[in-house]
């Protein structure tokens, strides 16, 4: 009886350990998990730097606009779409905030924005400075995805072209450069944003790239393909390029 109880306790502890969430994985309320199946086949998408600070052209305290944006994002999380203007927020200001946020969302597809969010969360939880989305690294990642499609090859050097070539092509001059890449199947949802990031976290090499202290810039690119090579599967190619100036 005692051995049975001890065995049951050990089994419960093992299951609890296996089911414990990774501390670097952001909860869904922080970073969404939009469907990647909506990405058009064969088209390469890249992350883009966030727009500059909100400048409505009206003289109001900064804290007022911050509160207004907080209410806007809170309404999106609850209702999945912006609600009517809350009390004490003029209708013209609410419309201005919504237009600004809509233009920012159009620049980066939701799936790529979610992947950037996951990287930023993991960096913060690692007590590192916030990632900045780099236009150059985003372009390099998109070029790498396009080269993989052209060469029908998954890897960091498709067609034998090394990363230094992409650095020169986009004009990146930082001291540090790293890269994560993945090609996962749509079947079972393995190509999704959170599923791909979780796979990277579970790999020591990929996790190192995400949490490396010298990386403070990131660029994400993705493409939904029917198959990367003749006998492959329908899935999403993900590339995350990292960089640092010191």
pLDDT per position as a tens digit, 128-137: 887 888 889 9
Are the CB atoms for 225 and 158 separated by under 8 Å? no
Rounded to the nearest integer, the mean pLDDT of the chain is 80
pLDDT digits (tens, 9 = 90+) for 215-230: 999 999 999 999 998 8
pTM score, whole prediction: 0.72
CB-based contacts of 76, cutoff 8 Å, min separation 6: 82
- d(C-alpha 26, C-alpha 34), whole Å: 14
Residues 6+ away with beta carbon under 8 Å from 105: 113
- 100 pLDDT above the threshold of 80: no
**Cα–Cα separations (whole angstroms), residue 228 to 217, 233, 234:** 28, 7, 8
Q: What is the DSSP string of 195-207?
A: HHHHHHHTSHHHH
CA distances from 119 to 126, 135, 203, 237 (A): 11, 16, 15, 17
Residue 26: predicted pLDDT: 92
């Amino acid at each position: 009886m005692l051995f049975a109880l001890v065995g049951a306790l050990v089994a419960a502890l093992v299951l609890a350990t296996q089911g414990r969430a990774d501390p670097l994985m952001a909860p869904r309320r922080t970073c969404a998990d939009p469907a990647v199946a909506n990405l058009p086949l064969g088209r390469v998408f890249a992350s883009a730097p966030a727009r500059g600070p909100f400048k409505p052209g009206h003289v109001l305290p900064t804290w007022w606009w911050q509160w207004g944006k907080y209410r806007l994002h809170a309404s999106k999380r609850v209702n999945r779409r912006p609600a009517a203007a809350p009390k004490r927020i003029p209708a013209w200001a609410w419309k201005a905030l919504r237009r600004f946020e809509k233009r920012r969302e159009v620049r980066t597809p939701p799936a790529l924005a979610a992947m950037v969010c996951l990287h930023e969360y993991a960096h913060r939880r690692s007590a590192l400075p916030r990632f900045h989305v780099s236009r150059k690294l985003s372009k390099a990642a998109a070029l790498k995805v396009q080269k993989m499609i052209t060469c029908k090859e998954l890897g960091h050097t498709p067609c034998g072209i090394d990363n230094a070539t992409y650095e020169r092509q986009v004009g990146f001059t930082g001291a540090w450069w790293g890269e994560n890449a993945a090609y996962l199947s749509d079947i079972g949802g393995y190509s999704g944003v959170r599923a791909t990031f979780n796979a990277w976290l579970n790999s020591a090499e990929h996790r190192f790239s995400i949490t490396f202290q010298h990386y403070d810039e990131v660029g994400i690119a993705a493409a939904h393909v029917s198959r990367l090579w003749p006998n492959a599967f329908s899935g999403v190619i993900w590339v995350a390029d990292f960089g640092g100036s010191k």
